[in-house]
């Protein structure tokens, strides 16, 4: 598994698509069941890309939670731009999960490329 950091973006040896397991560190926003969006800032969220699923892990001191999204439940992945930040929007249909999950990253294009190489439905806008 590769951990990609901002300074490693252009290192071709880290972009070995044969491994197909990548890990990105960033932030996250998603709607809670009460309709209030939960925001986790960088570097408290880890997004791990595997061939058949995406694993989102947020770790805030004593609180640690893993979420698993199967590839078949993901309908689209696209760039998302906030006022001061950028990331990707994952639209999915898993029950009891929010429809849209925003993952904040300094490397949205690289993350989209990794997802596309792993067969996820990436939309370039």
Alpha-carbon gap, residue 58 to 92, rounded angstroms: 19
Contacts of 90 (CB under 8 A, 6+ apart): 54, 69, 74, 76, 77, 100, 101, 102, 103
**Band of pLDDT at residue 30, cut at 50, 70 and 90:** confident
pLDDT tens track for 93-112: 888 788 789 999 999 999 99
Read off the DSSP letter of residue 10. T
**What CATH class has 24-31+38-123?**
mainly beta
pLDDT, one tens digit per residue, over 77-91 is 999 998 888 999 999
Read off the pTM: 0.80
């Amino acid at each position: 598994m590769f951990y990609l950091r901002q300074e490693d973006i252009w290192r071709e040896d880290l972009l070995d698509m044969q491994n197909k397991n990548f890990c990105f560190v960033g932030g996250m926003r998603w709607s809670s069941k009460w309709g209030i969006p939960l925001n986790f800032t960088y570097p408290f969220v880890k997004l791990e890309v595997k061939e058949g699923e995406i694993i989102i892990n947020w770790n805030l001191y004593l609180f640690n939670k893993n979420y698993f999204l199967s590839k078949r439940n993901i309908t689209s992945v696209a760039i998302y731009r906030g006022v001061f930040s950028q990331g990707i929007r994952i639209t999915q249909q898993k029950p009891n999960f929010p429809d849209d999950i925003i993952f904040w990253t300094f490397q949205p294009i690289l993350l989209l490329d990794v997802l596309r190489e792993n067969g996820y439905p990436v939309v370039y806008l």
